[in-house]
Amino acid sequence: MTIVSDRAFSVSRLPGFATIAVTVLVMLYLPIVLLVLFAFNAGPSPAIWEGFSLHWFPRAWANEQVKEATIRSLVIATSAAIISTSVAVLAALGTTRRRKSPGQTFVYLMINQPLMVPEIVTAVALLILFGFIKVATGYQGLGYLILAHSAFCIPFAYLPIRARLEGMDITLEIAAADLYATPWQAFRHVTLPMLMPAVAAGFMLAFITSLDDVIISLFVKSAGQDTLPTYMLGQIRRNMTVEVNAISTLLIGLTVILLTAFFLLTRERNRPQK
């Protein structure tokens, strides 16, 4: 793709930019597309195409470890998304649409902290803390993973909810109070219904974030508690098989579905205002 100089003059067109942009977009998808493509390879190679086959998918699922890790990942992601979204809704209600205060800044910092601290640092910190608790209580269950995931999912759940709340016309709640709604009724019948798309969006982002996590899971999990990503990491280190391509393909598919839903939900929000 080359820039032809006799095209109509446009101030916003900069030479070479379009070429770079298109290359970037292609390069962004090429590895993923190849990865997905070879998940359907009949042969055992992730580079030499030997014909189309679906057999890697049932084969991956037949692997007891894969099945367990998948279920475990889904259980953790669902629990963490529920917990983080619930506390994020409350926090968003407590921190938006009021005068700025030092306390509020502190809450912002705390909520956004998982976005700033390198995951490896949090991971080793949790390894130590949960190590103590595991010894003290003898409890080895999924609770640790769920709690750790809930914490780093909070900012992802919080951001869309807060954005929505800040964009919401406060007069609507005043109107509800004017029309004899108690504060709780105003929340239940006006604020919450209008907040729902953002809550769903926040839930999805939290779910994806939890499902994607490798590092913290790796350090927090007890023996035999592999999640899908930690299982995959182990496989990549040993001998990579097309089985990993199949699992990756399913994860990518899930992400695309959730993201599409997210976009539709957040687009919905812009409509009533115009």
Partner 1 sequence: MSSAAEIAAERKERRRSWLLSAPALFVLLFAASGPLLIILVYSFLPPGKYGNVEWGFSLDAWVGILYSRDIFDGTYKLADAHLTIFWRSLKLSLYTTLFTFLVGFPTAWFIATRSAQMRAVLLFLITIPFWTNLLVRTFAINQLIRNEGVVNTFLIWTGVIDTPIQIVYTDFAVFLGMTYVYLPLMVLPLYATIDRFDMRLLEAGCDLYASRWQVLRHVIVPVVKPGIIAGSILVFIPSLGAYVTPRILGGGRNMMIGNFIDLQFGAGRNWPLGAALSVTLLLAVAVALFVYVRYATRDDNRV
Partner 2 sequence: MSSAIAIETRRALKEYGTGSHAVRALDGVCVRIDKGEFFTLLGPSGCGKTTLLRLIAGFETPTSGQILLHGKNITTVPPNLRPVNTVFQSYALFPHLTVADNIAFSLRMLGRSRSDVLQTVERMLSLVRLESFASRKPQQLSGGQQQRVALARALAPEPKVLLLDEPLSALDLKLRKEMQRELKRLQTETGITFIFVTHDQEEALTMSDRIAVMRSGKILQVGAPREIYNHPVDRFVADFIGETNFLSGRVEGDKIRLSSGELVAAETEGHSGSVTLAVRPEQVGICPAGTSDSLTAEIVDTVYFGTDTHCHLSLADETELVARLQSPPSGNIGLSRGEKVGIKFNPGAVQVLNE
Interactions with partner 1, residue window 200-219 (CB under 8 A): 205, 208, 211-212, 214-215, 219
Residue 148's identity, in one-letter code, is A
Distance (Å, whole) CA 274 – CA 270: 7
- Of these, 66, 77, 126, 190, which contacts partner 1 (CB under 8 A)? 126
Regarding 185 and contact with partner 1 (CB under 8 A), the answer is no
Over the window 253 to 272, marking each residue x when it contacts partner 2 by CB under 8 A and - when it does not, the resulting string is: ------------------xx
Looking at the DSSP bridge assignments, the partners of residue 52 are 41
Q: Which does 17 bind (CB under 5 to 8 A by kind): partner 2, partner 1, none?
A: partner 1
* Tokens read off for 5: 């100089």
Least separation, in Å, of the C-beta of 200 and partner 2?
Answer: 14
- Of these, 198, 232, 246, 265, which contacts partner 1 (CB under 8 A)? 232
Distance (Å, whole) CA 70 – CA 57: 13
- Of these, 15, 51, 102, 224, which contacts partner 1 (CB under 8 A)? 15
Residues numbered 47-76 forming contacts with partner 1, rule: CB under 8 A:
47-48
Least separation, in Å, of the C-beta of 35 and partner 1?
Answer: 4
**Within 96-223, where are the H helices?**
102-116, 119-137, 143-167, 170-178, 183-186, 192-212, 215-220
Q: How many residues bind partner 1 (CB under 8 A)?
A: 89
Helix (H, G, I), strand (E, B) or coil at 41: strand
CB 201 within 8 A of CB 89: no
Q: Which does 272 bind (CB under 5 to 8 A by kind): partner 1, partner 2, none?
A: partner 2
CB 226 within 8 A of CB 68: yes
* Tokens read off for 134: 């595991």
Looking at the DSSP bridge assignments, the partners of residue 41 are 52
* Tokens read off for 245: 């391509």
Which CB, 131 or 193, lies closer to partner 2?
193
- Of these, 53, 101, 185, 222, which contacts partner 1 (CB under 8 A)? 101
Residues numbered 140-199 forming contacts with partner 2, rule: CB under 8 A:
169, 171-172, 174-183, 185-186, 189-190, 193-194
Q: Per this entry, what is the length of the chain? A: 274
Distance (Å, whole) CA 65 – CA 225: 10
Distance (Å, whole) CA 13 – CA 36: 35
- Of these, 81, 152, 160, 165, which contacts partner 1 (CB under 8 A)? 152
Regarding 90 and contact with partner 2 (CB under 8 A), the answer is no
Where along the sequence are the contacts to partner 2 (CB under 8 A)?
169, 171-172, 174-183, 185-186, 189-190, 193-194, 271-272
